[in-house]
Amino acid sequence: MAGISSKNYILYLVLVFFIPCFSNAEIGIEKVEEGFDVKGSPRVVHFNKSDYKGDLQFWCMAEDESGILYFGNNDGVVIYDGSSWCVVKLPNGSTVRSLLYSSDGKLYVGGVKEIGRLEQDEFGTYKYVSLNNYLRVEDRDFGDVWQIIEVEDQIVFRTFGLIIALSGKKTVTLPASQRFGRISVIEDRLYVVDDWGLKRLTLATFEFENIVPASTYEGHEVSGVLPGRKAGEIMLFTKPGNSYFVNPEKKTISFFKNHLPNFSSDQIFCALKSSKDTYYLGTINSYLLSFEFDGFQLEGSTMISGMQDKTVLGLDETNDGNIWAMLNKGIDCIEIASPVSVLFEGATVLDVRSFKDSLYLATNQGVYMTRLSKDSPIISTSDFKIVDGLEAQAWSLGKYEEKLIVSHDKGVFVLGEKGYYHVEGTNGIWKVIPFKGQEHLYLASAYDGIYILEYTEEEKFVIRNKVEGFEVSSRDIIQLGTSNVFWICESYSGVYKIRIDKELRRISSLEHFTTKNGLPSTFGVNAFPYKGNILFLSRKGIYTFDENTQQFVLYTKLADILDKRAYLRQIFSDNDTTWIADDELGVGYFDEKSGDAVESDLFASLRGSYSKSMELIVPLGNQKVLVGTTDGLYLFDLAVSPPTLEESMVFTQVSYRNEDDSLVYCPLASSKSAPYKFPQQTSSLVFQFASPGLAGNSEKQFSVKLGLADENWSEWSSAPSKEYSHLKAGFYAFKVKSRSIFGGETEEAVYYFEILPEWYQTKGAMGAFVLLVLVGIGLSVILVKRKLKITRKEERERRRLVELELQQMKLEKENELITKDKKQLEEVVINKSKELANYTVLLVGKRELLASMNEELKELKALAKNEKTREKIRLLAKKINTNLQDEKYLHVFDTNFERVHKAFFDDLKATYPSLTQKELRLCGFVKMNLTNKEIAAILNISVRGVETARYRLRKRLDLDHEVNMVEFLEQFSSSGLHEKSNEQE
């Protein structure tokens, strides 16, 4: 959070997963005895061959004003911009053992028989430019250049046999009487070490002034000439490990101390005094030594281990205050400026406790310990030793009855002045806490419930009894005041409230709370005391328990502030701060006057390294805090402010693919007034960038924004590049910024560019288009006038044609209506024909029935014996016969058939006007496709009679024998002969 004051750097957040119970009972200053100023070793970031892709051996380093780092390597100059590495080889392929970034912004390089500069072109490509041509021919065979310094506006190169002073394009050389062993600039004066001893050299006259002879420091080879403790004092270091104070004005020297063990074959190879007045000594076989003075007294001395190689060939300090060590195998960055240091690495640290001038750690590998010393407060991993017998999982530590209590997978162990012992009967103990209100009694939270521990008069801890009636794992347990009531959270089943009886032997009451009592879930609920309340943390908020309603309710004082965070798993207060825990590390101030604030950026370097079950946070009360992770134990010094990041974003490469899919590199410099112009066919535009000021930081993030394309800054990402495809034409400003793991953002870097439009979208093309339009308008006016006369005549003719077309359309419309009516009439005819056919079928059936009944009555009359019966049968047969002879139904048929098939009869009568009514009726039956039998039944004649009638009809119609009468009659209708006759007319 930007704008937070320095005191708020103590805001941070520790990840505690499921059951974070070890930091809620006893935290902070109680865990480390007062009077001890615990310090850790600085973290070391390693860079190896897989990173820089060069030779293993490094010699020197330089940093330019933007923070880009240059390393002297056996393969040449290795360049690191904080994101990517590259190697520039010298023409002769020699080793580079010296580099200097001068005040005029030039990087000077010293190789074997080579002096030169490293330059970067507008596209970001580095090249080496030799300066050997500035030397006389006889001076060019000078061997290795071991040092380059700047003094008196001149660049000075040192070889064993020659000093070369470069000013502009002019060089002056000074040969050694035997050998130049070291040069150094102290208080703007040039000091030279040769076989005689320490001298001062004035470049204006090239005259030496002797300071102290080599005999005063036993003639040993000098590995460092550095500023001393005060102005006007020099510290001189020799390879065997001795250091001396030199007064150059009085030309005196005094021995200070030997920094290497007696009779050691080790050597000091290089030395450095940092901006914070700490001295660093690079050794051949002992990593890196450091010491500093408190006034004139040696304050402390330590060895910085944890490096990837013991041999240090070069040392340098970058602008951010970190120390870089050039090694025989690789490069290491010692994060001196980082607020985090390392106390212990190599195991998961779950608890820490000081006891009897020692520091103890509970880890997944066992219990580790180291001695604490007020004179030597710095602690490193090598100082810790595992306690024999306490190997395997140790969960927590407690200090009771002047004893150290270890809660272990194997049970409870008690450490005292005479060693330690195992409390018999204990196994699988999470932690031991005092039983408030019960003197010398303690609760042991076990895998299978709760045990009562007692400290006896014999000054021993023993199990008094197990509390019966509760077999649940009791890692998260809180006592309500001094009562016998406890809250217990179990990871999966929910929350329990138990009461232990007065004898402390069994559970007298037990309440189990689940979602029915207001909990959002029974999974992963944790309980913590907080400012007089007990808070229950869940995946969906912070709750308290309402005794009146017996329900869990949201804790509104913090819910609105903290519910926006991830799953909160821990909360407790320490003085004015509130420690909270979700997926990161941080703490918050909640103040009505100054507002609420939560900070976690300072601890981002440990993100993702916390234990997934029990993390550790121990505020020490002096702006320091201990944090346990799966990797070890770390110390944060909150007095160390995050580094100020300014002007440390650079573009390292800008490229695009053209219409031929070829990669084109672009200049790195652009401005708003002179943007780089990309063609319209740019298919893939890639920006590569780096934050050199964060080069030593292994965890850095970038955020980008592109004008016209992006409304907001992107999410933070570790990717040092951004690609855009097929941007539309327009003016753009690509912006990028970065941040470190300790918070703070760099100033943004901006690249202005323009995507050119297509040729037809340019201003010239648009002007040409406008001109063409104007010319076209003029020509159009002329042509319109010329054609107007022709058009008028054509218009009159067109109007006449239109009127004719309208008449034709009217006729066509009327024809359409006629056709439509005709279709409707035909449909009606079809329906009526169907009805008539059905009627005819019913009529035939009726007459056949009557004929059948008449025949049966005749048979019945012959069988009847009674005259009266025969008479009745006769009368009935007479009625049936009369009905069969009745032709009224034929008139009904003729009427309906003519109505339905009017066009048929009209055509038939018109063609054959001499046809009788009976012949017309027979034509109708034939058209209906009735059989001779059906026609005989309707006419009440024999089938033979029907055949005879049809024969006569064929004669009348003048039909040949092979002509089908049905097909012939089908042509007589409104759609048949009637239409043909109309066509003929």
Other beta carbons within 10 Å of 729: 13
- In this predicted structure, what is the pLDDT of residue 31? 61
Kindly tell me if the per-residue pLDDT of 803 is higher than 50: yes
* Phi, psi at 979, each rounded to 5°: -70, -40
On whether the CB atoms of residues 434 and 442 are closer than 8 A, the answer is yes
Read off the pLDDT band of 928 (50, 70, 90): confident
- In this predicted structure, what is the pLDDT of residue 591? 55
Kindly tell me if the per-residue pLDDT of 888 is higher than 80: no
What is the mean predicted confidence (pLDDT) over 726-737?
89
Kindly tell me if the per-residue pLDDT of 740 is higher than 50: yes
Tokens coding 452: 């009562």
What is the mean predicted confidence (pLDDT) over 298-323?
88
CA–CA separation, 606 vs 339, rounded Å? 12
On whether the CB atoms of residues 580 and 538 are closer than 8 A, the answer is no
- In this predicted structure, what is the pLDDT of residue 580? 61
Q: Name the residue with higher pLDDT: 540 or 333.
A: 333
CA–CA separation, 11 vs 586, rounded Å? 5
Beta bridge partners of residue 155, listed in sequence order: 150, 166
Kindly tell me if the per-residue pLDDT of 387 is higher than 90: yes
What is the mean predicted confidence (pLDDT) over 619-643?
80
Read off the pLDDT band of 16 (50, 70, 90): very low
Dump pLDDT digits (tens) for 352-384.
998 988 999 999 999 999 988 776 677 888 889
On whether the CB atoms of residues 254 and 244 are closer than 8 A, the answer is yes
Read off the pLDDT band of 983 (50, 70, 90): very low
Read off the pLDDT band of 763 (50, 70, 90): low
* Range scoring the smallest mean pLDDT among 239-243, 399-403, 590-594, 802-806: 590-594
Q: Name the residue with higher pLDDT: 137 or 857.
A: 137
* Maximum mean pLDDT: which of 264-278, 787-801, 943-957: 264-278
- In this predicted structure, what is the pLDDT of residue 637? 81
Please name the residues in contact with 437: beta carbons below 8 A apart, sequence gap of 6 or more. Answer: 481, 482, 483
CA–CA separation, 678 vs 187, rounded Å? 51
Measured N-to-C along each axis, helices 932-939 and 763-863 cross at an angle, to the nearest 10 degrees, of 60
* Maximum mean pLDDT: which of 417-421, 841-845, 881-885: 417-421
What is residue 464's three-state secondary structure?
strand
Kindly tell me if the per-residue pLDDT of 539 is higher than 80: no
Kindly tell me if the per-residue pLDDT of 975 is higher than 80: no
Read off the pLDDT band of 3 (50, 70, 90): very low
Kindly tell me if the per-residue pLDDT of 841 is higher than 80: no
Please name the residues in contact with 73: beta carbons below 8 A apart, sequence gap of 6 or more. Answer: 52, 54, 55, 57, 58, 59, 87, 95, 96
Kindly tell me if the per-residue pLDDT of 468 is higher than 80: yes
Q: Give the C-alpha distances (Å, rounded to integers) separating 882 from 861, 875, 879, 888.
A: 18, 10, 5, 12
CA–CA separation, 438 vs 501, rounded Å? 13
Cα dihedral: 324, 325, 326, 328 (round 10): -160
The share of the chain scoring above pLDDT 90, in percent, equals 43
Q: E strands within 372-479?
A: 378-379, 385-391, 394-400, 403-408, 411-416, 419-422, 429-434, 441-446, 449-455, 461-466, 476-479
Q: Give the C-alpha distances (Å, rounded to integers) separating 461 from 377, 423, 865.
A: 33, 7, 138
Read off the pLDDT band of 814 (50, 70, 90): confident
* Phi, psi at 80, each rounded to 5°: -135, 120
**Tokens 């009327």 map to which residue?**
814
CA–CA separation, 94 vs 96, rounded Å? 6
- In this predicted structure, what is the pLDDT of residue 424? 94
What is the mean predicted confidence (pLDDT) over 464-470?
94
On whether the CB atoms of residues 497 and 483 are closer than 8 A, the answer is no
Kindly tell me if the per-residue pLDDT of 822 is higher than 80: no
CA–CA separation, 855 vs 356, rounded Å? 140
| Helix H or strand E segment including 34 | none
Positive or negative, the Cα torsion across 306, 311, 317, 318?
A: negative
Kindly tell me if the per-residue pLDDT of 503 is higher than 90: yes
Kindly tell me if the per-residue pLDDT of 644 is higher than 90: no
* Range scoring the smallest mean pLDDT among 474-488, 544-558, 610-624, 942-956: 610-624
On whether the CB atoms of residues 158 and 145 are closer than 8 A, the answer is yes
Dump pLDDT digits (tens) for 74-123.
999 999 998 899 999 999 999 999 999 999 999 999 999 999 999 999 99
SS (H, E, C) 233-280: CEEEEECCCEEEEEECCCCEEEEEEECCCCCCCCCEEEEEECCCCEEE
* Phi, psi at 374, each rounded to 5°: -70, -30
Counting every residue, how long is the chain? 985
Kindly tell me if the per-residue pLDDT of 827 is higher than 80: no
Kindly tell me if the per-residue pLDDT of 344 is higher than 80: yes
- In this predicted structure, what is the pLDDT of residue 918? 84
Kindly tell me if the per-residue pLDDT of 63 is higher than 80: yes
Positive or negative, the Cα torsion across 110, 113, 117, 119?
A: negative
Tokens coding 118: 């490293």
Other beta carbons within 10 Å of 388: 9
CB burial readout 875-911, b (16+ within 10 A) else e: eebeebeeeeeeeeebeebbebbeebbebbbbbbeee
Chain mean pLDDT for the chain: 83
- In this predicted structure, what is the pLDDT of residue 8? 35
* pTM for the predicted model, two decimal places: 0.68
- In this predicted structure, what is the pLDDT of residue 679? 87
CB burial readout 77-91, b (16+ within 10 A) else e: bbbbbbbbebbbebe
The candidate with the shortest Cα–Cα distance to 477, out of 503, 524, 444, is: 444
CA–CA separation, 363 vs 374, rounded Å? 25
Q: Name the residue with higher pLDDT: 528 or 402.
A: 402
Beta bridge partners of residue 418, listed in sequence order: none
- In this predicted structure, what is the pLDDT of residue 974? 45
Residue 26: CA atoms inside 13 Å, Cβ hemisphere, count? 17
What is the mean predicted confidence (pLDDT) over 414-420?
88
CA–CA separation, 877 vs 872, rounded Å? 9
Q: Name the residue with higher pLDDT: 515 or 537.
A: 515
Dump pLDDT digits (tens) for 423-458.
999 999 999 999 999 999 999 999 999 999 999 999
**Tokens 């695009």 map to which residue?**
656
Instruction: Tell me how many helices (H) and strands (E) the chain has.
Output: 11, 66
- In this predicted structure, what is the pLDDT of residue 833? 59
Q: E strands within 50-135?
A: 58-63, 69-73, 76-80, 85-88, 98-101, 107-111, 114-120, 126-130
End-to-end CA distance of the chain: 104
The type of residue at 857 is L
Read off the pLDDT band of 542 (50, 70, 90): confident
The share of the chain scoring above pLDDT 70, in percent, equals 84
- In this predicted structure, what is the pLDDT of residue 723? 92
* Range scoring the smallest mean pLDDT among 14-23, 67-76, 219-228, 905-914: 14-23
